[in-house]
Amino acid sequence: MNRGFYTVMAAQFFSSLADNALLIAAIALLVQLQGAAWMTPLLKFFFTVSYVVLAAFVGAFADSMPKGKVMFITNSVKLVGCALMFFYDYFALLGIDSHEVVLASYAVVGLGAAAYSPAKYGILTEMLPPRQLVIANGWIEGLTVASIIIGTMLGGALINPRVSALLLSIDVPRIDTGIDMPPEAAILVISLFYLIAAAFNLRIPDTGARYHQQSRNPLVMVGDFVTCFTTLWRDKLGQISLAVTTLFWGAGATLQFIVLRWAERRLEMPLSQGAILQGIVALGVALGAVLAGRLVPLKKSLNVLPVGVAMGLAVLSLMFVTWLPLVCISCSSWWGRWPASSWFR
């Protein structure tokens, strides 16, 4: 592996870490602003909807310029979305609801994340020989899972009353930051991680790869995407891959918020501690990925589909669990089965 690859890894790690920490901070901000309970799940919706809406366009954008530059631009979009959360009170003066500003800000972060993904994977094919691509993809995926674990726990730690009190006590001479709430202090710290990611993005070397000019007609781009999409759906294995992956990720996004509310009601855990459970779930994903790679060969990937059914039953069993150590074991184990179930993607 060359030095450029490690720079890409570092940029991806810090950018993804900030994304996951920001989700926890945004939830805390909505709670602080007394937002309705139904608004919290919308954060994830507004973040991920960009992946769907922009699916036909982000690939062409990633190929339109050097990938390092694309990653810098899209990471900057994330930083802008993060910074917009500080100005909810100013938008309120314009008659815009503060809660809507928080949701829209995280949607901007999702916009940057959707455009960031094709570049971070595409640059690997430009930077490394074919024999190293599988290893490189494994490193990127493993580092992404690590960033989810650390980022989620970081977000929970930053909104912890003791940590937030320490952050708010820091006095910058002659500068009135206007930050007086724990979620705002957390968001300020998280923005520093986006800046670190931007610094690494600027260090990514230009691989020299250039691609032919693609059509900029939105209708043509959507038409090409629909053709590829329908071709994949007509393939029998492609159908299974798309259907199972969609269901699993849909369930995962839903459970991400249900676990937080369940921990609050059932285990009497505040948001700062409930976020740790999400980190434990991500740890289970990482362990499951290792086990899947060692125990499940690609030719037997379809045989693990029943594991998904077992995972669903394990989720249901948590309704009757209140002992925290058992909760942690259950959370790590039922999502630890996910990588094996999705190995055939």
DSSP 213: P
Q: What is the mean pLDDT of residues 85-109?
A: 86
Query: What does the pLDDT read at residue 286?
Result: 63
Task: Work out the pLDDT band at 290, boundaries 50, 70, 90.
Answer: low
Amino acid at 290: V
Lowest mean pLDDT among 225-239, 261-275, 327-341: 327-341
pTM of the model: 0.77
Q: What is the mean pLDDT of residues 72-96?
A: 87
pLDDT digits (tens, 9 = 90+) for 122-152: 888 888 777 777 677 777 777 887 788 788 8
Residue 15 in any domain: the answer is yes
CA distances from 300 to 59, 218, 264, 292, 312 (A): 31, 40, 40, 11, 21
Between 267 and 62, the higher pLDDT residue: 62
244 contacts 308 by C-beta, under 8 angstroms: yes
Q: Is the pLDDT of residue 172 over 70?
A: no
> Percentage of the chain surpassing pLDDT 90?
13
pLDDT digits (tens, 9 = 90+) for 3-43: 888 898 899 899 999 998 998 899 888 888 887 878 888 88
147 contacts 17 by C-beta, under 8 angstroms: yes
Same domain, 199 and 271: no
> Percentage of the chain surpassing pLDDT 70?
81
Task: Work out the pLDDT band at 319, boundaries 50, 70, 90.
Answer: confident
Residue 229 in any domain: the answer is no
SS3 for 187-207 is HHHHHHHHHHHHHHHHCCCCC
Q: How far is Cα 345 from Cα 342, in angstroms, rounded to an integer? A: 6
Q: Is the pLDDT of residue 186 over 50?
A: yes
Q: What is the mean pLDDT of residues 170-176?
A: 60
Same domain, 170 and 253: no
Question: Which among 153, 142, 152 is positioned nearest to 339, based on CA atoms?
Answer: 142
Between 8 and 328, the higher pLDDT residue: 8
User: Domain containing 322: what range?
Assistant: 235-345
Q: How far apart are the first and last CA of the chain?
A: 26
Residue 230 in any domain: the answer is no
- Domain C-terminal end among 193, 223, 253: 223
Both tokens of residue 217?
């007609």
Q: Is the pLDDT of residue 53 over 90?
A: no
DSSP 267: S
Residue indicated by tokens 């991920």: 48
Residue 212 in any domain: the answer is no
Query: In sequence order, which ranges of the chain are alpha helices (DSSP H)?
Result: 3-32, 39-53, 58-62, 67-84, 88-93, 98-127, 133-158, 161-169, 182-202, 218-234, 236-266, 271-295, 305-317, 324-336, 338-341
Residue 211 in any domain: the answer is no
Same domain, 64 and 167: yes
Q: Is the pLDDT of residue 336 over 90?
A: no
- Within a 10 A sphere around the Cβ of 187, how many other Cβ atoms? 27
pLDDT digits (tens, 9 = 90+) for 299-311: 666 677 677 677 7
Same domain, 278 and 334: yes
Same domain, 253 and 163: no
- Domain C-terminal end among 223, 256, 273: 223
Lowest mean pLDDT among 60-64, 98-102, 206-210: 206-210
- Domain C-terminal end among 176, 195, 223: 223
SS3 for 286-340 is HHHHHHHHHHCCHHHHHHHHHHHHHHHHHHHHHHHCCCHHHHHHHHHHHHHCHHH
Amino acid at 234: R
Q: What is the mean pLDDT of residues 195-215?
A: 84
Same domain, 185 and 261: no
**Mean of the per-residue pLDDT values of the chain:** 79
87 contacts 56 by C-beta, under 8 angstroms: no
CATH number at residue 20: 1.20.1250.20
Task: Work out the pLDDT band at 193, boundaries 50, 70, 90.
Answer: very high
For the chain, how many structural domains are there in total?
Answer: 2
DSSP 86: G
